[in-house]
Amino acid sequence: MSLQALVLCSDEKIVRVLRRVLSDLEVAVQHCRNAETAIRYLTRQRFEAVIVDCEDAETAAEVFKSLRAAPANKRAVAVAIIGGQSLRVAFEMGAHFVLYKPVSMERAKVSFRAAHSLMKRERRRNLRIPIQIPVSFSKGQRAMTIDLSEGGMAVQVPRRSIQGGLRLSFTIPDSNEVISTDAQVAWESNTGQTGIRFIDLPSESRQQLKAWLNRNVPEAEKDDPPASCRLTDLSLGGCYLEIGAPFPVHSRVVLSMRVADLSVQVEGVVRVMHPEAGMGVEFTQRTAQQRQQVEKFIEALMQSKGVLPDLLVEPDGLEADAPEAGTTVAVSEEAEDPLLELFRNRGELPAEAFLGELRKQRRNHGSSSAETVLEM
């Protein structure tokens, strides 16, 4: 089934451009000319994206509010088309991405590159693969899966329901990889079927499970390939990336970084986003091992004699799935991280002003110490 987008726009030229771009991405379009019709669709049909012309800010705000209130669509990717309106106003209304007027074919293609990746990622997150594999729970309980997804599984439980705080383990099919994680019961049926939601699935296990699912989903449901980007600033706690189609603030991303013979994969959360320019990412480092990966990469960069690293970035979720700033352990308590401080204290500046602050910071923190910002 193709991805679905709802478009609220009365400008036929813009609608024609959107239809062509979205058609190339195999996204079906449901076009509306008034807010009442759009809101009615949001309550009755599922969409992976909702695109709203914000010519009338009050009407646009009403539609975005209805979008987040609709159970089937609250995780949809929201795109605002703006002219003279402030970028901040569009984001405050709930938009993840913006399209600037006049909407050209090339600009729309660039903007929807990241949006399309997130649309597929969000739908993939809920996709369940039917499979039967044994699962072991704490307190000696056992069950057989009915299906498996990135966020959890459904199991058939013999005789009695699953009791107590959950800790489960299972082996990924066709491999020797064992996944162990905390979990919780999401739902139970009268027939012994139980829905299980994973809690704090370890990063390595999540990537292993994601890889298996990607190998076993229909071709149309596979994630988009990672996008290449340029690293401009790097610290132990985060980085700034130049990319034409950045992901929205609060989205979770996975970075694959390589320099010389060293390759590392780190997870992060987008804290600052500048449309068509770049984004600031705070690394999600909950363990010493994750922190050590970044340290090794910084050391390798410092020894690479100016060789630029290869970077690929892909989305891993939107909003509710992204950790809050307080849950990341980006730097040690005694170390300062000027790049993260810039994200937190100056992140709402317009793009040019923020990038100016970034350049100023490079001059002020030009040391090669891993506790300061490493300039690329």
Distance separating the N- and C-terminal Cα atoms of the chain: 43
Report the run of H or E that residue 33 belongs to, with start and end: none
- Provide the pLDDT for residue 152: 92
- Provide the pLDDT for residue 190: 81
Report the run of H or E that residue 28 belongs to, with start and end: strand 27-32
Beta strands 77-82; 97-100: pairing state: parallel
| Residue 326 CB coordination number (10 Å) | 6
Mean pLDDT per block of 10 residues along the chain (376 residues) reads: 91 96 95 96 94 94 94 91 86 92 91 91 82 89 91 83 78 88 87 87 85 80 87 92 94 92 90 93 81 87 83 84 44 68 92 92 59 50
Q: Name 215's Cβ contacts closer than 8 Å, sequence gap at least 6.
A: none
| Residue 95 CB coordination number (10 Å) | 24
State the Cα–Cα distance between residues 91 and 111, nearest whole angstrom.
15
State the Cα–Cα distance between residues 321 and 323, nearest whole angstrom.
6
- Provide the pLDDT for residue 159: 65
- Provide the pLDDT for residue 231: 93
Q: Name 166's Cβ contacts closer than 8 Å, sequence gap at least 6.
A: 137, 138, 182, 183, 184, 185, 196
Kindly indicate whether the domain formed by 129-216 is annotated with CATH number 1.10.260.30: no
- Provide the pLDDT for residue 293: 85
Report the run of H or E that residue 124 belongs to, with start and end: helix 105-125
Give the CATH fold of the 3-125 domain. Answer: Rossmann fold (3.40.50)
State the Cα–Cα distance between residues 15 and 105, nearest whole angstrom.
11
State the Cα–Cα distance between residues 200 and 216, nearest whole angstrom.
23
Q: Which two tokens stand for residue 363?
A: 């001059």
Which amino acid is present at 207? Q
Cis ω on the peptide bond leading into residue 309 (within 30° of 0)? no
Q: What is the sign of the dihedral through the CA atoms of 345, 229, 125 and 169? A: negative
Q: Tell me the pTM.
A: 0.79
Instruction: Give the domain ranges of the chain.
Output: 3-125, 129-216, 227-375
In CATH, the number for domain 227-375 is 2.40.30.230
Q: Which two tokens stand for residue 353?
A: 């002003």
Report the run of H or E that residue 20 belongs to, with start and end: helix 12-24
Report the run of H or E that residue 55 belongs to, with start and end: none
DSSP states along 154-214: EEEPPSS---SSEEEEEEPTTS--EEEEEEEEEEE-TTSEEEEEEES--HHHHHHHHHHHH
Count, residues in the chain: 376
- Provide the pLDDT for residue 286: 65
